[in-house]
Amino acid sequence: MPSSPTAAVIRLRPGAFAAWARSLGLETEGAQADHIGVDRTTLSRVRRGEIIPGERFIAAVLAAGGKFESLFEVVS
């Protein structure tokens, strides 16, 4: 019987996100959340790995100019 594939998960790369935000002059988590258009609590929980970023969060980061390949990783 073939094994079923493991679901992949997308995670934020916190260090890369912090560097990207600093490069934009966004020093506080509140400023970062405002810039990408998400709730500060959501950003905080995603950064700490408590929740995985949903499609809205990922889309918000990309719309704000972030690059998927450098700010996110896909793990299985």
Q: pLDDT tens for residues 30-76? A: 999 999 999 999 999 999 999 999 999 999 999 999 999 999 999 98
Q: Does the residue 72 lie in any domain?
A: no
Q: Does the residue 8 lie in any domain?
A: no
Q: Does the residue 9 lie in any domain?
A: no
Q: What tokens were used for 61?
A: 């980061």
Q: Does the residue 35 lie in any domain?
A: yes
List the domain range (segments joined by +) for residue 41: 14-67
Q: Does the residue 36 lie in any domain?
A: yes
Q: Which residues contact 35 (CB under 8 A, 6 or more apart)?
A: 21, 24, 26, 64
Q: Does the residue 19 lie in any domain?
A: yes
Helix (H, G, I), strand (E, B) or coil at 5: coil
Above 80 in pLDDT, residue 3?
no
Total domains, the chain: 1
